[in-house]
Chains A and B, each alone.
Chain A
Amino acid sequence: GNSVTQMEGPVTLSEEAFLTINCTYTATGYPSLFWYVQYPGEGLQLLLKATKADDKGSNKGFEATYRKETTSFHLEKGSVQVSDSAVYFCALRRGTDKLIFGTGTRLQVFP
Chain B
Amino acid sequence: KAGVTQTPRYLIKTRGQQVTLSCSPISGHRSVSWYQQTPGQGLQFLFEYFSETQRNKGNFPGRFSGRQFSNSRSEMNVSTLELGDSALYLCASSEDPKNIQYFGAGTRLSVL
Contact = CB atoms under 8 A, between A and B. Distances in A.
Interface of A: 36, 41-46, 49, 89, 95-104
Contacts of A96: 97-98
26 contacts: A36-B103, A41-B105, A42-B105, A42-B106, A43-B4, A43-B6, A43-B90, A43-B103, A43-B104, A43-B105, A44-B90, A45-B103, A46-B102, A49-B100, A89-B43, A96-B98, A97-B56, A98-B58, A99-B33, A99-B43, A99-B45, A100-B45, A102-B42, A103-B42, A104-B42, A104-B43
Nearest to B46: A98
A99 B90 CA distance: 13
Contacts of A104: 42-43
Q: Tell me what chain A mostly uses at the interface: helix, strand, loop, or mixed.
A: loop
Interface residues of B, number: 21
Nearest to B42: A103
Interface string B40-68: 00110100100000001010000000000
Contacts of A89: 43
Interface of B: 4, 6, 33, 35, 42-43, 45, 48, 56, 58, 90, 92, 97-98, 100-106
B48 A98 contact: yes
A101 B43 contact: yes
Contacts of B90: 43-44
Give the interface centre of A41, A43, A44, A104 by most chain B CB atoms within 10 Å.
Answer: A43
